[in-house]
Amino acid sequence: MHTLYDSDTYSVTHMLANAVAADATKERAGGPAVQVLLVPALARHGFEIVDKRSGKEVYLDGSWAELFQRHISAWQEKTPTQEEVEETLEQYAELAQNPVLVH
């Protein structure tokens, strides 16, 4: 999990599905216990955008995350103004329906 952007209006966090998972011990019948790595069944990354004004968040994954990743890549090539970033985030924040309960 990496915070990519944080202002008075918006917060953007990149959620990494391929992060190292916790180890677990699995008992084998008739043999010693073995260490196994617990890996998510569907390893997908995504972005959480929080609209601090409305107290709502939207989670982008799949094709939405890919589209948002293109915006980030473009921003890395040409540094946008804060106003340009906020205008883009405002468009995504219109999708926000989930209230932020604990953040």
Name the average pLDDT for the chain.
81
pLDDT per residue as tens digits for the range 46-81: 999 999 999 999 999 989 999 999 999 999 999 999
Rounded to an integer, the average pLDDT of 35-39 is 57
More reliable by pLDDT, 101 or 4: 4
Range with lowest mean pLDDT among 2-6, 18-22, 46-50, 67-71:
18-22
Q: Write out the DSSP string of 4-67.
A: EEE-SSEEEEEE-TTSPPPEEEEEETTEEEEEEE---SS---EEEEEETTTTEEEEEETHHHHH
Residue 27, pLDDT score: 56
User: Does this model's pTM top 0.75?
Assistant: no
> For the chain, what are the domain ranges?
2-99
Q: Helix (H, G, I), strand (E, B), or coil: what is residue 71?
A: helix
